[in-house]
């Protein structure tokens, strides 16, 4: 079976229900408060992590809500709230609105890496090496790298499918700092389903339009996210069934504790098994 069993099916409902998330979060919060008198950094981190888990649970409940007026759209809007002394920021994102790393062409790869701050020969090396990494042949591009280059480090290009965004740091010309700059708007979850501009990140739109940062679609989407335009009506919202959806929760405590969680799910449309977990980190 492939690493995702046809893009994700190797990971089956690792999270049994929303209640499990909430119960675990509350249990950890209670244990840390009752069992640890020293409210130090470790306790604060545990509390923040538990609150972030609860934020994931709440976000999942919002995309599964029966009442459409209470359902959150996968549009990247940040929802802020308080939970057990922590400040939560939760966002629901359609992974199809991010740059599909496995489907990039040369112009799109160039635009993506320019956004990451690369230029000149560094850009050419990173671009050609990235395209060589994700293609399924052994033909090296002019500034790129194929299997012989990586052999000494015990690495081998995957031949068409990235296992994770972190894998990008293995590519010649890329490093962890560069990957961190593009991480919010790239994805490895849409190799089959591709890109959908409807709820796309403006930076992803610019890449997929091959560098049209000032294009009408990019400007309109940025204004919508900034609250300057009315978001799409419920009737116009895309159906989320069979789309990879990410729920991102960041929890911060007044004392400095901070934790983040990301859950990637696909909604099934089936009542007794409404979602399948693809990743949780």
Considering the entire predicted model, what is its pTM? Answer: 0.76
Q: What is the pLDDT averaged over residues 203-219?
A: 68
| pLDDT tens column, 75-91 | 899 999 999 899 999 99
Handedness of CA 181, 185, 190, 195 (dihedral sign): negative
Each as own residue / partner, the long-range contacts of residues 176-185 (CB below 8 Å, 24 or more positions apart, any chain) are 178/113, 178/116, 178/117, 178/118, 178/126, 181/115, 181/116, 181/117, 182/99, 182/112, 182/115, 182/116, 185/98, 185/99
**What is the pLDDT at residue 238?**
54
Largest CA distance in the chain: 62
Answer for the pair 7, 189: CB distance below 8 angstroms, yes or no.
Answer: yes
Q: Report domain 101-180's class.
A: mainly alpha
Please state which of the ranges 27-41, 113-127, 145-159, 211-225 shows the lowest mean pLDDT: 211-225
**Of 110, 98, 76, the residue nearest 162 (C-alpha):** 98
pLDDT surpassing 70 at residue 3: no
Beta bridge mates, 137: none
**What is the pLDDT at residue 15?**
46
pLDDT surpassing 90 at residue 59: yes
Owner of token pair 């040369």 = 106
Q: What percent of the chain has pLDDT over 70?
A: 75
**What is the pLDDT at residue 207?**
94
Helical axes 18-35 vs 41-63, angle rounded to 10°: 160
pLDDT surpassing 70 at residue 28: no
pLDDT surpassing 50 at residue 117: yes
Backbone angles phi, psi at 157, to 5 degrees: -55, 145
Domain ranges of the chain: 18-94+239-280, 101-180
Residues in the chain: 281
Q: What percent of the chain has pLDDT over 90?
A: 53
Pairwise CA distance, residues 207 & 113, whole Å = 9
Q: What is the pLDDT averaged over residues 144-163?
A: 86
Backbone angles phi, psi at 274, to 5 degrees: -70, -20
Answer for the pair 251, 48: CB distance below 8 angstroms, yes or no.
Answer: yes
Task: For residue 185, give Cα distances in angstroms to 87, 100, 242, 264.
Answer: 24, 9, 20, 14
Beta bridge mates, 218: none
- Cβ neighbours of 141 (radius 10 Å): 17
Q: pLDDT: is 261 or 21 the higher one?
A: 261
Pairwise CA distance, residues 51 & 42, whole Å = 14
Backbone angles phi, psi at 125, to 5 degrees: -65, -50
DSSP assignment, residue 241?
Answer: B
Answer for the pair 218, 54: CB distance below 8 angstroms, yes or no.
Answer: no
How many CA atoms does the CB half-sphere of 108 hold within 13 Å?
Answer: 17
**What is the pLDDT at residue 218?**
53
């Amino acid at each position: 079976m492939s690493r995702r069993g046809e893009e994700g099916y190797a990971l089956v409902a690792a999270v049994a229900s929303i209640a499990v998330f909430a119960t675990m979060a509350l249990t950890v919060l209670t244990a840390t408060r009752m069992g640890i008198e020293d409210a130090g950094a470790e306790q604060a981190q545990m509390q923040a992590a538990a609150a972030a888990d609860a934020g994931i649970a709440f976000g999942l409940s919002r995309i599964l809500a029966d009442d459409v007026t209470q359902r959150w759209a996968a549009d990247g809007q940040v929802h802020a709230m308080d939970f057990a002394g922590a400040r939560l920021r939760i966002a629901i994102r359609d992974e199809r609105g991010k740059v599909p790393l496995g489907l990039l062409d040369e112009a799109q790869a160039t635009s993506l890496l320019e956004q990451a701050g690369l230029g000149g020969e560094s850009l050419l090396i990173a671009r050609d090496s990235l395209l060589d990494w994700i293609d399924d042949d052994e033909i090296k591009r002019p500034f790129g790298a194929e299997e012989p280059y990586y052999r000494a480090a015990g690495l081998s290009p995957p031949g068409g499918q990235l296992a994770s965004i972190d894998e990008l740091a293995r590519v010649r010309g890329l490093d962890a700092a560069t990957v961190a700059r593009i991480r919010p708007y790239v994805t490895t979850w849409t190799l089959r389903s591709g890109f959908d501009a409807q709820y796309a990140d403006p930076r992803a739109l610019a890449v997929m339009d091959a560098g049209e940062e000032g294009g009408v679609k990019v400007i309109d989407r940025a204004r919508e996210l900034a609250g300057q335009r009315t978001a799409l009506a419920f009737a116009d919202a895309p159906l989320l069934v069979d789309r990879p959806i990410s729920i991102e929760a960041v929890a911060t405590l007044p004392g400095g504790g901070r934790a983040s969680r990301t859950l990637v799910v696909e909604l099934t449309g089936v009542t007794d098994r409404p979602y399948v977990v693809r990743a949780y980190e």
